[in-house]
């Protein structure tokens, strides 16, 4: 399995960053960066990461199950993550999450039929003082209202 030249370069640097004989340290970052490119963590990807990090595939597999950002199934092209933790909840985060599901017509961690959007209720993402917050893929959006979220989603729909 090979990745894009940029990612290959990143992985080469990554494996050199840890002390001698500690390539296993690259497992988590390698998985998340690879997932961004492949869309999901497949058995093939697990084998590949295991080979590169010089561990058994099972040692990679058990890591996948632990971290909430690692997924075995593809998410939408735009993954809409709505925080409902305390700071967001107090200023409308829960309602915003309900609105997002309704707007997209899907439930938590589900993907729209066209594969474009998925939604997830997430835990605190570190935007408490600018709540409620939404992260779409890796882009933060602060002080989000249902109207603002509609605009964001409609804008992404047009981009397709």
Partner 1 sequence: MPKLLYNEPSPLETKVLSKRFGLDNSESLDVYLANDGFKAFLKARQMTPEQIVEEVKASALRGRGGAGFPTGLKWSFVPRTSPKPKYIVINADESEPGTCKDRLLMEYDPHQLIEGILIAGLAMDAHKGYLYIRGEYRYLIDHMDRAIAEAYSKGYLGRNIAGTEFDFDLYTHSGAGAYECGEETALLDSLEGKRGIPRMKPPFPAVAGAWASPTLLNNVETFSAIPAIIRDGGAAFAALGTPKNGGTRLVCISGHVNKPGVYELPLGYPMLKAIYEVAGGIPGGRRLKAVVPGGSSCPILKAGECDIPMDYDTLAKIGSMLGSGGMVVLDETTDMVKFALRIMRFYAHESCGWCIPCREGTTWLRKILQRFDDGGGRPEDVALLGELSKNMLGRTFCALGDAAAMPTISIVEKFYEDFEKRLAQAMVAV
> Among residue numbers 72 through 131, which ones bind partner 1 (CB under 8 A)?
84-87, 89-91, 122-131
Instruction: Establish if 66 lies at the interface with partner 1 (CB under 8 A).
Output: yes
Instruction: Establish if 19 lies at the interface with partner 1 (CB under 8 A).
Output: yes
Three-state SS for 136? Answer: strand
Angstrom distance (rounded) from CA 100 to CA 95:
9
43, 127, 157 from 150: Cα distances, Å: 36, 20, 10
Q: DSSP letter at 160?
A: -
CB of 15 to partner 1, least distance (A): 11
Residue 57 is encoded by which pair of tokens? 């595939």
Between residues 68 and 113, which has the closer beta carbon with respect to partner 1? Answer: 68
Q: For the purposes of burial, counting CB atoms within 10 Å of the CB of 37, is it exposed (0-12), middle (13-18) or buried (19 or more)?
A: exposed
Between residues 124 and 156, which has the closer beta carbon with respect to partner 1? Answer: 124
Three-state SS for 143? Answer: coil
Q: Which stretch binds partner 1 (CB under 8 A): 28-36, 72-80, 107-115, 148-156?
A: 28-36
Q: Which stretch binds partner 1 (CB under 8 A): 1-9, 60-68, 104-112, 148-156?
A: 60-68
Angstrom distance (rounded) from CA 90 to CA 46:
40
Instruction: Establish if 9 lies at the interface with partner 1 (CB under 8 A).
Output: no
Q: Which of 15, 33, 98, 103 binds partner 1 (CB under 8 A)?
A: 33
Instruction: Establish if 7 lies at the interface with partner 1 (CB under 8 A).
Output: no
Angstrom distance (rounded) from CA 43 to CA 50:
11
Write out the residues near partner 1 by the rule CB under 8 A: 17-19, 22, 24-29, 31-33, 53, 55, 59, 62-63, 66-70, 84-87, 89-91, 122-131, 135, 138-140, 142
């Amino acid at each position: 399995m090979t990745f894009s030249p940029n990612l290959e370069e990143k992985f080469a640097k990554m494996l050199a960053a840890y002390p001698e004989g500690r390539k296993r340290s690259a497992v988590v970052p390698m998985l998340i960066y690879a997932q961004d490119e492949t869309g999901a963590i497949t058995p093939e990807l697990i084998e590949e990461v295991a080979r590169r990090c010089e561990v058994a595939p099972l040692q990679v597999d058990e890591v996948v199950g632990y971290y909430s950002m690692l997924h075995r199934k593809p998410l939408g092209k735009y993954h809409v993550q709505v925080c409902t933790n305390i700071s967001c909840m107090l200023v409308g985060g829960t309602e915003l999450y309900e609105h997002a599901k309704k707007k997209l017509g899907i439930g938590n961690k589900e993907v729209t039929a066209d594969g474009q959007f998925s939604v997830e209720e997430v835990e605190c993402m570190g935007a408490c003082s600018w709540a409620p917050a939404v992260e779409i893929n890796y882009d933060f959006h602060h002080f989000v209202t249902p109207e603002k979220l509609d605009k964001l989603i409609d804008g992404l729909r047009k981009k397709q």
